[in-house]
Amino acid sequence: MHQTVELQERGDLISIYHQGVLIATHRKAESKHQVIIDMEHYWGLSNKHDATKKTAPLPEVEVRSLDVYASLAEGGVLVG
C-alpha cells in the first residue's frame, strides 16, 4: 500500500504497473458512476482488507448536472 503505480490506457483497457511490472488490468467503465471490481485482485490480502466479505450496498444517489451546484453557489434555491 501507499506505493506509486503507472497507468496506461490502451483501447478499452487500463493497465496498472508497479516498478515496470504489470500488476492489474481492468476494462474501462462503459458509463459514468460505474464501479468495476475484479475480485482476483484481492486474493492474498489479509482478512482485514478482504474484499470478498459482504459489505453494505452503496447508497443510491441522485445524479445532477453541475449547473445545479453552480446555481446554488450563486444564491439559487434547490427545488424538488
pLDDT tens per residue, range 15-62:
999 999 998 888 888 888 888 887 777 777 766 655 556 677 778 888
User: What's the pLDDT at 57?
Assistant: 79
If one counts every other C-beta atom within 10 angstroms of the C-beta of residue 41, the result is 14
pLDDT value of residue 16 = 92
Give CA–CA dist 73/80, Å, rounded: 17
Strand stretches in 3-77, DSSP E: 6-10, 13-18, 21-27
**Where do the domains of the chain lie?**
1-54
